[in-house]
Amino acid sequence: MSISSKNRSKIMNLLDPDEFRRQGHMIIDFLADYYENIEKYPVVSRVEPGYLSKCLPDSAPSDQESIETILHDIDQYIVPGLTHWQSPNFFAYFQTGFSIPGMLGEMLCSGFNVAGFNWFSSPAATELESLVMDWLGKLLDLPTSFLFSGHGGGVIQGNTCEAIICTLTSARDKILRRLGQDSITKLVVYGSDQTHCSFQKAARIVGIDPQNFRTIKTTWSTSFGLSPDSLRNVIYSDIDRGLIPLYLCATVGTTAITAVDPLTPLCKIANEFGMWVHVDAAYAGASCICPEYRKLINGVELADSFSFNAHKWLLTPLDCCCLWLKDPSALVKSLSTDPEYLKNEATDSKQVVDYKDWQLSLSRRFRALKLWLVLRSYGEHNLRNHIRNHCGLAKFFGELVVEDGRFEIAFPRHFAMICFRIHPSAVIDNMTIGHVLENRHGEAWKAEEVNRLNARLLEAVNASGRAFMTHALVGGIYAIRFCVGGALVTERHVAMAWKVVQEHANSVLASARHAKE
């Protein structure tokens, strides 16, 4: 007996090792060439919305196409539509982490393609993840209580939003188990106006009443860190109204300007009220491998969970969000599933971690590999040098900013990001020269004009294709964010980026003057 010969003739070889080798090498060469030439592309893509549907057919082909044809199209149609995140002239947002070992780890992960939902389905995937999370926790000098070796534990999530959904669900259920499900409408969560938007999204998803989401205003007086006094006041007022404080998300290194919430006093207050504290150090967490930055997360020992994205500043490609918890069983209580078709002896023995119960999804990629390859390929010393190198480059950029009297650093630098802008005085001078309607407008108008001019400068810099930066608008000040974090960035690129800024500042200021004349 056998399957019909009619079908047999049509059987494709989906994974011929020789063909895998040939095509795999082709892609490696394609990417190596891409990195070699990456500076030739404008950093920000110049395509218009809808460009791709004009280049490609509107349905899949009937018959197979060769990898050569496809690579040609990638070169022709996809690359021009990319904003080049690995370009050394990319200084926008926070970079996505990259490095050779990080990429190799991704390849191995996809190549093995195991779905390590539980220990049994691929023990190495689970055990390496637990091991590497302890390694990394030690590198960051996290309290032992967050490590497996100290009865806590770490897990790799896709991103911060997932990490928050998981911990927030656990915190929520812990209270609801005690007070009953109806209390869900009384639960309140707290962050500052600088907290990442993922927190609000996560709170909405887990069913926190949007009216019970507190966005506490920050100011210059605390350098836009969350003020413990403000937190306490808001909590008191919530309690007075019969609400229940549930969860605080404190941030070390905010997205807009890398501000730092003071963990110790914030955690102490939260602990007083029995709240869960999550520390989101998505970007800045990587720097904790250096003692000089580690002190910024002092107080984390009072928190319940801590996460940072190795896919930002720790040389690891998307996605790799590292989450540690003091009490992983809280997670498991909320997120575990136990369907018959996954039952196995190892799980029953309770001697293993089943990571499906530590995250949202069932399937999970073997992401620990890339993190492990990064940690081993560089080692502690080189990883520290990497962080210090980027901070040094940012400092260098800051010095260039300060040297040019027309500019100022808008917010204090903590890590490898500089927020700068054309100084109001340069704009005002400019406006005076232009004989503008100065007297008819007040300070607010001036501030807006300064912001507008800086926005125009940023637009011009990005349109040049020679550098890509983004902006922040904090405390009424529009600043240009210059973040150093790419795998290919060197001093030359930083210096060149600054030249691009200066050139465009000349023309932006001149054209503003011209417009007013």
Helix (H) or strand (E) holding 245: strand 244-251
3-state secondary structure of 232: helix
Report the residue number, 84 or 466, with the smaller CB distance to a copy of itself. Answer: 84
Report the residue number, 128 or 155, with the smaller CB distance to a copy of itself. Answer: 128
Report the residue number, 423 or 471, with the smaller CB distance to a copy of itself. Answer: 471
Residue list 43-102, contact with a copy of itself (CB under 8 A): 45, 47, 49-53, 56, 58-65, 67, 69-70, 74, 77-86, 93, 96-101
Residue 515 touching a copy of itself (CB under 8 A): no
Query: Which residues, 6+ apart, have CB-to-CB distance to 409 below 8 Å?
Result: 398, 401, 402, 418, 419, 420
CA neighbor of 368 nearest in space, from 310, 324, 410: 310
Taking a C-beta distance cutoff of 8 angstroms, is the pair 81, 47 a contact?
yes
Taking a C-beta distance cutoff of 8 angstroms, is the pair 198, 164 a contact?
yes
Taking a C-beta distance cutoff of 8 angstroms, is the pair 288, 297 a contact?
yes
Residue list 391-410, contact with a copy of itself (CB under 8 A): 392-393, 395-396, 399-400, 403
CB of 437 to a copy of itself, least distance (A): 28
Q: What angle do CA 144, 149, 150 make, to 5 degrees?
A: 45
Tell me the two tokens of residue 52. 């791709």
Q: Which of 160, 167, 218, 451 binds a copy of itself (CB under 8 A)?
A: 160
What are the residue ranges of helices labelled H in 38-147?
A: 51-55, 67-73, 100-112, 123-139
Report the residue number, 51 or 445, with the smaller CB distance to a copy of itself. Answer: 51
Residue list 291-310, contact with a copy of itself (CB under 8 A): none
Kind of pairing between the strands at 417-422 and 407-411:
antiparallel
Report the residue number, 81 or 233, with the smaller CB distance to a copy of itself. Answer: 81
Residue 362 touching a copy of itself (CB under 8 A): yes
Q: Which of 488, 502, 513, 516 binds a copy of itself (CB under 8 A)?
A: 488
Q: Which of 72, 204, 217, 435 binds a copy of itself (CB under 8 A)?
A: 204
CA neighbor of 226 nearest in space, from 198, 197, 200, 264: 264
CB of 408 to a copy of itself, least distance (A): 17
Residue 3 touching a copy of itself (CB under 8 A): yes
Residue list 19-38, contact with a copy of itself (CB under 8 A): 19-21, 23-25, 27-36
Residue 219 touching a copy of itself (CB under 8 A): no
Longest dimension (CA), the chain: 96
Q: How far apart are CA 381 and CA 375, in angstroms?
A: 10
Please, which residues bridge with residue 473 across strands?
A: 478
Tell me the two tokens of residue 493. 């690129």
Report the residue number, 256 or 284, with the smaller CB distance to a copy of itself. Answer: 256
CB of 435 to a copy of itself, least distance (A): 31
Residue list 456-475, contact with a copy of itself (CB under 8 A): 470-473
Residue list 116-155, contact with a copy of itself (CB under 8 A): 119-125, 127-128, 131, 134-136, 138-139, 149
Residue 476 touching a copy of itself (CB under 8 A): no
Residue 10 touching a copy of itself (CB under 8 A): yes
Q: How far apart are CA 259 and CA 305, in angstroms?
A: 19
Residue 431 touching a copy of itself (CB under 8 A): no
CA neighbor of 171 nearest in space, from 147, 204, 203: 203
Residue list 365-394, contact with a copy of itself (CB under 8 A): 365, 369, 373, 375-382, 385-386, 388-389, 392-393
Report the residue number, 338 or 517, with the smaller CB distance to a copy of itself. Answer: 338
Site string for a copy of itself, 226-265 (x = CB under 8 A): -----------------------------xx---------
3-state secondary structure of 488: coil
Q: Which of 175, 216, 335, 401 binds a copy of itself (CB under 8 A)?
A: 335
φ and ψ at 254, to 5 degrees?
-65, 160
What are the residue ranges of helices labelled H in 285-421?
A: 291-294, 310-313, 328-335, 345-349, 368-403
